[in-house]
Amino acid sequence: MSETTNRFITYKDAAAEALLQAMEKDEKVFLIGEGADNINGVGGHALPAIRKFGPSRVIDTPICENGLTGFAIGAALDGMRPVLLHQRNDFMLLAMDQMMNQAAVLRYASGGRHRIPLTILSFVARRPGEGAQHSHSLQSVFAHFPGIKVGMPASAVDAKGMLLSAIFDDDPVIILEHRHNTLYDKEEYVPEKYYETPFKSNLVVEGLDITVVTVSITLLNALEAREELSANDILPEIIDLRWLRPLDIDPIIQSVKKTGRLLVVDTGWKICGISSEIIAQVCEKAYNYLKCPPRRITLPDAPCPASQFLEQYYHPSTEDIVKTVKEMV
Q: What are the φ/ψ torsions at residue 171 (nearest 5 degrees)?
A: -115, 160
Beta bridge partners of 296: 264
Q: What are the φ/ψ torsions at residue 23 (nearest 5 degrees)?
A: -70, -30
**What's the whole-model pTM score?**
0.95
| Most trustworthy range by pLDDT among 24-38, 116-130, 140-154 | 140-154
Beta pairing, strands 173-178 & 119-124: parallel
Residue 41, pLDDT > 70, answer no
165, 18 Cβ separation under 8 angstroms? no
The predicted structure's pLDDT at residue 134: 81
Tell me the pLDDT of the chain averaged across its residues.
93
Cα separation, 329 vs 319, whole angstroms: 16
DSSP 61-97: --S-HHHHHHHHHHHHHTT-EEEEE-S-GGGGGGGHH
The predicted structure's pLDDT at residue 24: 97
> What burial letters (b/e) apply to 264-278, b meaning 16+ CB within 10 Å?
bbbbbbbeebbbbbb
Residue 268, pLDDT > 80, answer yes
Cα separation, 118 vs 169, whole angstroms: 8
Considering only CA atoms, which of 11, 156, 207, 278 is closest in space to residue 222?
Answer: 207
65, 94 Cβ separation under 8 angstroms? yes
Tally the residues of the chain.
329
Residue 37, pLDDT > 90, answer no
Beta bridge partners of 263: 212, 295
Asked if 134 is an active-site residue, the reply is yes
Catalytic pick among 134, 136, 180, 315: 134
The predicted structure's pLDDT at residue 34: 85
Considering only CA atoms, which of 182, 133, 127 is closest in space to residue 12?
Answer: 182
- Which is higher by pLDDT, 294 or 12? 294
The predicted structure's pLDDT at residue 127: 66
19, 49 Cβ separation under 8 angstroms? yes
Beta pairing, strands 295-299 & 149-151: unpaired
| pLDDT, tens digit (0-9, with 9 covering 90-100), for 83-124 | 999 988 899 999 999 999 999 999 999 999 999 999 999 988
Least confident of 153-157, 207-211, 300-304: 300-304
Please name each of the domains of the chain with its CATH number. 8-189 (3.40.50.970), 202-328 (3.40.50.920)
What's the DSSP call for residue 23?
H
Beta pairing, strands 187-189 & 8-10: antiparallel
